[in-house]
Amino acid sequence: MKAKTYRLDRFISQKSRFSLSATRLLIAQKRILVDGQPADSIQQKITHFTHVVLDGECLQANQPVYLLLNKPQGVVSATKDLKHPTVLDLIQHPQKAALHLVGRLDFNTTGLVLLTNDGAWSRKISLPETKLVKVYEVTLAKPLTSDYIAVFNQGIYFAYEGITTQPAQLTILSPYKARLSLTEGKYHQVKRMFGYFQNEVLALHRASVGPITLEGLQPSQSRELSTKELQAIELAFCSS
């Protein structure tokens, strides 16, 4: 999915005192720099992260931010809440006010949360067509049986939406614990899938999204994604 773009002349007219028609002259006089180079056309495409300078004044210098957070229990997956702490309350970053969540976790669900200011990137991760595998660790109230594995692999019908879930891989770790791999994220999907067997989910933890894991990150801690991790998830996008 492509990032939203703007024509250079429209961007200049919105960010400065110059009109649309004045942009041609500004370009001819080499008064506009786009990512460090003189602008070459009024139709040149500007994204949210394009660096633009006019007459030595910086009009835009946004930098993409990609954060990983290990969400603890009792924290709201939101940017603002009047009653409870939010994921943003746990983050110390100069651009945190511009961040949004890439998918959400329930109040009592723990684990991996991604945040970014890059809307195109977050949409790619969230699209069902991307089919990024999300891995959850689940603790149940009742013992698991091999019947679960077959049913999860076939998909479970959700009457409210009138849909059947995509095949999911379930690995039984112990009588009451399992690892579940999904490629979609329906509303309360994990709890509803185990609800098919009338088995209550007592604890739920998201361990990974695609190639990104929580290795070395303690609850409430966050960090920026590494170049290696960003490259790995781009490869996952390309292979989907």
Phi, psi of 57 (to 5 degrees): -100, 130
Q: Are 41 and 8 in contact (CB under 8 A)?
A: yes
| Tokens, residue 212 | 């990104």
Catalytic residue check, 106: yes
**DSSP character for 72?**
P
Among residues 9, 81, 106, 118, the one annotated as catalytic is 106
Residues 6+ apart with CB under 8 A from 140: 176, 177, 178, 194, 199, 200, 201, 202
Q: State the virtual CA torsion across 198, 203, 209, 214 in degrees, nearest 10.
A: -160
Element (H, E) at 14: helix 8-15
Pairing assessment for the beta strands 66-71 and 110-116 based on DSSP bridges: antiparallel
| Strand, helix or coil for residue 133 | coil
C-alpha triplet 197, 128, 62: angle, nearest 5°? 130
Q: Are 161 and 186 in contact (CB under 8 A)?
A: yes
Element (H, E) at 125: helix 119-126
Q: Which residues are catalytic?
A: 106
